[in-house]
């Protein structure tokens, strides 16, 4: 693996084994998910004490728990007795955590409360569930499994939190969720997300998201010149509104130059410019937080290694990527609306989720066909086009992190 990384040619896709070799996969998980901050869930998914979600990343299983003390913590889902998985479900609510094997019982913060038959010398004090580092930033929960988490994360969050804090994710609720397993390596899922060169394959999304996403003028394909011109004038109007309301909108793009790679920008949307619908009209009638206007476009946030977000005025969509195996990847999408929005009156779940449900299915097909192609003995790394610079940025970030890991 060290050799393949050293031989990587910038601007090109990876050598096949880095996507497809089952022996590489554990290194990938340890080097990226075992060492760096990644996005796990939102507080809106676990609103009450006792609520939890479990997330599996390679062989790791984690419990993201809203504790009785209101604290969010992340615990390894491995019993301290003989290692059984303590919680089996993807989500739920529980008082204490009781291992189904011999009923060792843990508090919601992971402390071992009870183990039957231990005798007088048994000390439960140091047998709590192992904890991972966890940070909550305006309702987004991030996890780091390393003993010493990388330091850059705090500085990046300080930079980007003012962009999304006005959307007040802590005052939202889950309207729709979707777990989609893509038949491909997780890096292909991420690569596919980082470019809009394929956006002609997303007819529903293209009604509201300009297909020139992430491109400079020279990078726009000929058949999207008109979109570029309309985008520029919509962007001008959006930026005037943002100036008036004091909302940050300027592009920050440091996808590979920082340990916590990031891209954030508030971009105009097509049509009415409000939301991901065919006309661009709002999909929830309740503005998020104290936002002053529905026409605030799309605040798009990418963070390495495993997530992207769209913050709109009326809802938020979060995307988390969790590698299951070398050729299987879970994409968890969550749609959030204002917590006082009423289903069937202010929003309709199927309409709210329609565009991204369709888009996710289209993306899953792209990822699967690419995984099958890079598995073919005839595959050789291909060249990224100029408008795919964020894909190359992702791989540059990934390669540097893996080289650090392997030494």
Q: Applying CB under 6 A, which residues contact ligand FES?
A: 79, 81-82, 84, 99, 101-102, 104
Closer residue to ligand FES, CB minimum distance, 79 or 234? 79
Q: How far is CA 328 from CA 13, 20, 320, in A?
A: 19, 10, 14
The CA distance from 244 to 262, in Å, is 26
Which residue's structure tokens are 């003993």?
Answer: 147
Closer residue to ligand 3BY, CB minimum distance, 112 or 196? 196
The CB-of-72 to ligand FES minimum distance in angstroms stands at 24
**Partner in contact with 79, chosen from ligand FES, ligand 3BY, none, beta carbon below 5 to 8 Å by kind:** ligand FES
CB contact at 8 A, 55 and 41: yes
Q: HSE (CB half, 13 Å, CA atoms) of 170?
A: 8
Residues 277-316 that bind ligand 3BY (CB under 6 A): 300, 308
CB contact at 8 A, 337 and 282: no
> Contact with ligand 3BY (CB under 6 A): which of 140, 196, 312, 321?
196
Which residue's structure tokens are 């529980």?
Answer: 94
Closer residue to ligand 3BY, CB minimum distance, 193 or 208? 193
Q: Report if residue 213 touches ligand 3BY, rule: CB under 6 A.
A: yes
**Partner in contact with 138, chosen from ligand 3BY, ligand FES, none, beta carbon below 5 to 8 Å by kind:** none
Before 232, cis peptide (omega within 30)? no
Write the interaction track for ligand 3BY spanning residues 241-260; mark x where CB under 6 A is met and - where it is not: --------------------
The pair phi, psi for residue 242, each rounded to 5°, is: -60, -40
The CB-of-111 to ligand FES minimum distance in angstroms stands at 15
**Partner in contact with 300, chosen from ligand FES, ligand 3BY, none, beta carbon below 5 to 8 Å by kind:** ligand 3BY
Closer residue to ligand 3BY, CB minimum distance, 108 or 396? 396
Q: HSE (CB half, 13 Å, CA atoms) of 367?
A: 31
Question: Which residues lie across from 301 on neighbouring strands?
Answer: 264, 309
Alpha helices in 219-348 (DSSP H): 225-245
Interaction site with ligand 3BY (CB under 6 A): 193, 196, 199, 213, 300, 308
């Amino acid at each position: 693996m060290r050799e393949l990384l050293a031989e990587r040619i910038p601007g090109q896709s990876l050598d096949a084994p880095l996507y497809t070799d089952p022996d590489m996969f554990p290194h990938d998980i340890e080097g990226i998910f075992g060492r760096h901050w990644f996005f796990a869930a939102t507080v809106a998914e676990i609103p009450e004490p006792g609520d939890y979600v479990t997330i599996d990343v390679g062989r790791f299983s984690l419990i993201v728990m809203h504790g009785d003390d209101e604290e969010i913590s992340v615990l390894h889902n491995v019993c301290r007795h003989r290692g059984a998985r303590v919680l089996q479900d993807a989500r739920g609510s529980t008082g204490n955590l009781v291992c189904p094997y011999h009923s060792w019982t843990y508090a919601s913060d992971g402390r071992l409360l009870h183990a039957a038959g231990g005798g007088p010398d048994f000390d439960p004090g140091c047998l709590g569930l192992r904890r991972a580092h966890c940070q909550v930033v305006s309702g987004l929960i991030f996890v780091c499994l390393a003993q010493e988490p990388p330091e850059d994360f705090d500085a990046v969050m300080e930079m980007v939190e003012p962009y999304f804090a006005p959307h007040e994710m802590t005052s939202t609720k889950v309207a729709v969720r979707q777990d989609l397993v893509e038949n491909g390596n997780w890096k292909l899922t991420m690569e596919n997300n980082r470019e809009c060169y394929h956006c002609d394959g997303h007819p529903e999304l293209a009604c509201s998201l300009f297909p020139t996403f992430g491109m400079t003028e020279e990078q726009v394909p000929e058949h999207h010149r008109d979109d570029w011109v309309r985008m520029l004038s919509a962007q001008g109007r959006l930026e005037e509104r943002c100036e008036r309301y004091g909302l940050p909108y300027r592009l920050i793009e440091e996808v590979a130059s920082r340990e916590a790679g990031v891209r954030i920008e508030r971009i105009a949307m097509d049509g009415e410019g409000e939301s991901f619908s065919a006309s661009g009209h709002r999909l929830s009638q309740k503005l998020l937080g104290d936002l002053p206007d529905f026409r605030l476009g799309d605040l798009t946030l990418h963070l390495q290694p495993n997530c992207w977000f769209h913050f709109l005025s009326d809802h938020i969509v979060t995307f988390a990527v969790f590698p299951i195996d070398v050729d299987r990847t879970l994409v968890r999408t969550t749609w959030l609306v204002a917590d006082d929005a009423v289903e069937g009156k202010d929003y309709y779940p199927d309409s709210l989720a329609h565009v991204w449900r369709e888009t996710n299915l289209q993306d899953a097909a792209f990822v699967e066909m690419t995984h099958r192609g890079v598995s073919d003995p005839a595959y050789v790394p291909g060249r990224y086009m100029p408008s795919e610079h964020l894909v190359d940025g992702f791989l540059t970030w990934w390669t540097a992190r893996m080289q650090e890991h392997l030494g």
